[in-house]
């Protein structure tokens, strides 16, 4: 994969992860709390953040 696409996908994953975690906090803080949606958004946010970290690491040989 070319470095351009790796950085592009990593930035997309970071932004998606932050949005997912933000949606999790918003859904968990509503009255009554939407717990199932908060868990789904939180898990997706953490997954996207992990993908962003893995794609933005330097390659080791």
* Average pLDDT, consecutive stretches of 10 residues, N- to C-terminus, the chain (61 residues): 88 94 90 86 94 86 74
The structural domains of the chain, with segments of one domain joined by +, span 3-56
DSSP SS3 for 50: helix
Q: 53's torsion region: left (phi>0), alpha (psi -120 to 50) or beta?
A: alpha
Question: What pTM, to 2 d.p., does this model score?
Answer: 0.82
Residue 61, pLDDT score = 74
pLDDT of residue 60: 76
- pLDDT value at residue 3: 84
């Amino acid at each position: 994969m070319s470095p351009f696409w790796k950085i592009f996908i990593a930035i997309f994953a970071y932004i998606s992860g932050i949005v997912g975690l933000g949606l999790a906090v918003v859904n968990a803080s509503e009255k009554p709390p939407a717990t199932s949606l908060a868990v789904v958004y939180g898990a997706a946010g953490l997954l996207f953040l992990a993908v962003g970290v893995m794609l933005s690491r330097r390659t080791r040989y």
